[in-house]
Structure 1
Amino acid sequence: MAHARAALRCALDQLGYTGDAPDDAVLAVSELVANALEHAPGPYEVRLRWAAAGLICEVMDGDPCIPAIPSLLSVGLFEPAPDKRGGGLDALLEVLSERGRGLQIVHQLTSGAWGFSTERGKRTKVAWVMIPEGWAADR
């Protein structure tokens, strides 16, 4: 995973992306790579490609199934849910769980500009994030 982060950061630097945007993109892609490593048979591949709206970073893995997308919050990522207050130790552990937040993080970091796709007849899926062209300083 560290190799994917370093390679993406280097590519974004070379393309002129500056400020916080590369950090957000690298973190979002890191979450997608972590999901590929944990949930799909290897190997995975990270690709960059240009689109009309900007740069798309894709993470392709060997699992053609698109995961169930959690209900994405419109409020802050770690704000307590009213129905999770009280309930003792089990409720507290569920709220503090590190699992299940990766796609929420991707959603927050990309302002919703992410998703999944599959190619007909191939046993792969692609998780992608959009890196808007406006994030590059000299484009």
Structure 2
Amino acid sequence: MTAQRALDCNPCVVWRWTSCAPDAPAQARTALRRALVELDFDCEVISDAVLAVSELVTNATRYAPGPYEMRLRRTATEVICEVEDHNPRIPEIPDFPAEAPYAPSEENLGGGLDALCALLSERGRGLHIVHELTNGAWGFCSQASTKIVWFALPCTRGRSGPR
């Protein structure tokens, strides 16, 4: 999926916040879950979207100035979530290894506490998580003074079907 395809449909603002918002990732998860439940999305789509947006909101509030905005878009086949911040710089995209990204490396086996802490570190995993949850359907768009990070998930519907 291209970034342009992600931006073609009309957005719906789900939540706005500033750097002063307490526990922004938790608030974003709650706001997105409510919106997707109200739109009758499948539980698996909701769970994956909520986890992915938590990673994007964490990165936005950690590395970019606000204010911030989370938007939701829907096409006939997918739901697209966007997080906008006020840093137009696109970060370096990490390489995504073909094998499990967090298996112990040979050089760290038996490496003591430092090797264990490096393996268990929570930093640097967010985009890997988003990549896995979305099967690679995510990306960045940079505008004059803002950046949008987006991901897309298949639009599986709940039991009651379209409204």
The one of 61, 71, 95 equivalent to 1:71 is 95
Q: Distance in 2 between matches of 1:84 and 1:136?
A: 44
Displaced runs of 4+ in structure 1, greater than 6 A? none
The Cα shift of 1:53 comes to 3.7
- Secondary structure at 1:46 match in 2: strand
1:8 is matched with 32
| Alignment root-mean-square deviation, CA | 1.7
Q: Distance in 1 between matches of 2:77 and 2:106?
A: 38
- Could you report, residue by residue, the CA deviation over 1:82-138 in whole angstroms, capped at 9, with x for unpaired residues? 34324343322222211111111111111211111112xx211111010212x2222
* 2:160 is equivalent to residue 136 of structure 1: no
**Which residue type is aligned with residue 150 of structure 2?**
W
- Secondary structure at 1:129 match in 2: strand
- Calculate percent identity across the aligned residue pairs: 52
2:115 is matched with 91
2:104 is matched with 80
TM-score norm. by structure 1 comes to 0.87
1:117 is matched with 141
1:29 is matched with 53
The Cα shift of 1:30 comes to 0.7
The one of 25, 30, 44 equivalent to 1:20 is 44
Q: Distance in 2 between matches of 1:22 and 1:81?
A: 33
1:45 is matched with 69
Range that drifts further, 91-100 or 29-38:
91-100
Q: Distance in 1 between matches of 2:142 and 2:75?
A: 18
Range that drifts further, 37-46 or 48-57:
48-57
Q: Distance in 2 between matches of 1:71 and 1:23?
A: 25
